[in-house]
Structure formats: C-alpha cells, structure tokens
Amino acid sequence: MNHTDEKRASQRIQVEVPVYIGNEKATTRDVSWAGIYFLTDQSFTEGGDLSFALDLSYALPGKPIKLDCQGEVIRIEQLGDKFGIAAKINNFQYLH
C-alpha cells in the first residue's frame, strides 16, 4: 500500500497502552486522536458502538490520566486466538 491509499485522518503512534472495555483489560498496538487499534480476547461487531477507557498514566508518572472514549468498530482481524480491533474515536473526555 502506498501513502495515497492511506485513509487515516491522523497519524497513529505505535504504543502499548492499557485499554479497558467493560471489565476486560486489553493493550493497544497504536493510537491517534482519531482512532485506536488494540488486541483482545473477545470479538466485537463491525460497525458497532464501542465504549472504552485509555490509561495514560505513563505520560505523567504519579498523576493518573484516563481518557473515557466513545467510538465505532471499523475492522476486526483474527490473529491466532486474539482479535485485532480497529476503531474510530468519535468522542472522548479526560478523567483524572
């Protein structure tokens, strides 16, 4: 794929950050202001709504920062016994 095929609205940063979906803890592969890709044990519905929280406490040690996010599942990939979930972030707010 070349750069003209790129559909992302903003550049993603490869970083492993804890992401919480309900009671499940997963890990991101990459994140941007517009989207997220994470690995999980559970499958989701493509096009379905997604509520999740990102734990960014690594950014400021000693000052917990979480983002409460609302999004939409864009793509699901089967990766062995895990699922790779690509999601668009529609809305977020800072939680301290």
Q: Reply yes or no on whether the pLDDT at 4 is more than 50.
A: no
* Total Cβ atoms within 10 A of residue 16: 13
Residue 80 domain flag:
yes
Reported as a pLDDT band with limits 50, 70 and 90, residue 5 is: very low
pLDDT in tens, 30-78: 998 899 999 999 889 999 999 999 988 776 677 778 899 999 999 999 9
pTM of the model: 0.81
- The mean pLDDT of 5-33, rounded to a whole number, is 83
- pLDDT given at position 59: 65
Q: Are 83 and 42 in contact (CB under 8 A)?
A: yes
Residue 5 domain flag:
no
Residue 2 domain flag:
no
Residue 4 domain flag:
no
Burial zone of 17 (CB within 10 Å; 0-12 exposed, 13-18 middle, 19+ buried): buried
